[in-house]
Amino acid sequence: MSDPTSAEADAADDEPAEDAPAVPDVELPSEAFDAVLDALADREPGKPVRFEGFSAAPDEGDGYVFAAGDRPKTMGEGELHEALAERAAAVTDWYVFERVVGEFGPRRAFLRWIEDADGETVATRYAALAEGIERAWGELRITATVTDRGERRYDVRHADDAGVPVDELDAYEDPLDARDLVTFDEQGRYRPLKTAPSLAGGWAFPDLGPRDLYETVETIYPATVANWHREREGELDVTHWRETMERQSGIYGVVKTWDRGEGYEHVNWVAEACCDDSQCLKRREWQYDDETDLDVDGGDGAFPCREPCSVVVSAARKWTRLESEQPRTYEFDLTPSEKEQVEAIIDAVADGRTDEIREADTKEGANRYRTRFLRAKLFDDEGNLGGVPTEPDEE
């Protein structure tokens, strides 16, 4: 926990509240005590290192001033060690975040968020950590625990594997191993978008330290923690659609022509197709431009999307070319049920539900056999729907 600076911290009493949870037994590791001594050595007399409920400061000589509430006491190194050992949970909490984690940035903020370190007391958090604190991050399930030395350990796995014994999963230790795990989905298909909800399961990183946890999460979901932190700090720089498209060049430069001046319905179509929660776990924060919001909801993801990604730009390039075609009128006959079936097929493909439709369930419009029957009935030998050619010169 970071050093408190408020006046309340100076007068904090170390007597636990009657309804406070019992703090699990924690020993004071020598490295934590040495870190406290090092921190005190860098302080001027009277400038304390603050912990939750008490503080320690160097005095004018070779001793220390230990203060719990309004009861300061001058003591030597041995007495200080005893006093800190009695309050080992708070000291190890300070040590973890000030020395093991260190820097005030996205990693520290993320690790503190996992256990609500900025909102709950050490006693509450250590009691919860003893049981295991679970947090969701995209499709990940992160479980944080604490050892009897106050060390944090983390288990990271796919949310679908929550509760599965580790020995039934592929276990990893090196955060870089996650690069292979995110490359393909459950069916072996390449995942061009790392934040798509298609992460394969069956693996676990069961015993990570704080720094390795951060590296693992950032390998699975690149830049998500960094952008989440920037948003929390009010520093998220968002690049909207128009600005992003204006800087496209080469084969993607054609997207710049897809701007209809008075309207932006085409951008709504792009966002609805690519940026829905069912397609991407990010929460879209970019709009049409600084002054014009899109009509499509941006999603509910924990981490923000600050600009149209490469997948969106690539798709928009294709759609720009397709939308440049002039519409034509085609005439063919469909029964009402066949019209509804075409709609069902499009919905099933768009929502990625085709694998969920059983082959024997011919009540479903997108059922494979029912779709094959529709093709057999309506397509000619050249593959034209209703026997109607696509191009006029084919008539």
331: in domain:
no
Rounded to an integer, what distance in angstroms lies between the CA atom of residue 74 and that of residue 213? 40
- Whether 227 and 107 share a structural domain: yes
Rounded to an integer, what distance in angstroms lies between the CA atom of residue 139 and that of residue 74? 52
- Whether 264 and 213 share a structural domain: no
Tokens, residue 364: 């479903």
Mean pLDDT on 265-275: 88
Confidence category of residue 14, pLDDT binned at 50, 70, 90: very low
- The β-bridge relationship of strands 54-58 and 49-51 is antiparallel
330: in domain:
no
- Whether 355 and 317 share a structural domain: no
- Whether 120 and 197 share a structural domain: yes
pLDDT of 80 higher than 90: yes
Q: What percent of the chain has pLDDT over 90?
A: 62
Confidence category of residue 395, pLDDT binned at 50, 70, 90: very low
Rounded to an integer, what distance in angstroms lies between the CA atom of residue 346 and that of residue 87? 63
Confidence category of residue 75, pLDDT binned at 50, 70, 90: very high
Query: Which residue's structure tokens are 């973890």?
Result: 96
Cα–Cα nearest to 105, from 5, 235, 237? 235
Rounded to an integer, what distance in angstroms lies between the CA atom of residue 43 and that of residue 170? 48
Rounded to an integer, what distance in angstroms lies between the CA atom of residue 135 and that of residue 144? 8
Which has the higher per-residue pLDDT, 325 or 18? 325
Given 231, 265, 290, the domain boundary residue is: 231
Looking at residue 79, its amino acid is E
Rounded to an integer, what distance in angstroms lies between the CA atom of residue 15 and that of residue 2? 20
Q: How many domains does the chain have?
A: 4
- Whether 379 and 319 share a structural domain: no
Rounded to an integer, what distance in angstroms lies between the CA atom of residue 294 and that of residue 98? 43
> What is the reported pLDDT for 175?
97
Given 39, 69, 99, the domain boundary residue is: 99
Q: What is the pTM of this model?
A: 0.82
- Whether 277 and 177 share a structural domain: no
What separation in angstroms does the CA of 109 have from each of 12, 36, 99, 230, 379? 24, 22, 14, 10, 59
- Residue 351 domain boundaries: 336-394
pLDDT of 180 higher than 60: yes
Rounded to an integer, what distance in angstroms lies between the CA atom of residue 145 and that of residue 151? 8
Cα–Cα nearest to 270, from 210, 229, 317, 231? 317
Query: Which residue's structure tokens are 């005030």?
Result: 104
- Whether 180 and 252 share a structural domain: no
Tokens, residue 159: 């949310």
Given 74, 99, 124, the domain boundary residue is: 99
Cα Rg of the chain, angstroms: 29
User: Which of 80-84, 103-107, 266-270, 385-389 is modeled with the greatest confidence?
Assistant: 80-84
1: in domain:
no
329: in domain:
no
Task: Kindly report, residue by residue over 314-369, the tens digit of the pLDDT.
Answer: 888 777 777 766 888 888 889 999 899 999 999 989 888 888 899 888 889 999 88
Residue 158 neighbours by CB under 8 Å, 6+ apart = 139, 140, 141, 199, 200, 201, 202, 203
Q: Give the rounded distance of the alpha carbon of 270 from its chain centre.
A: 23
> What is the reported pLDDT for 320?
74
pLDDT of 10 higher than 50: no
CATH number at residue 172: 3.30.1360.190
pLDDT of 258 higher than 80: no
Mean of the per-residue pLDDT values of the chain? 88
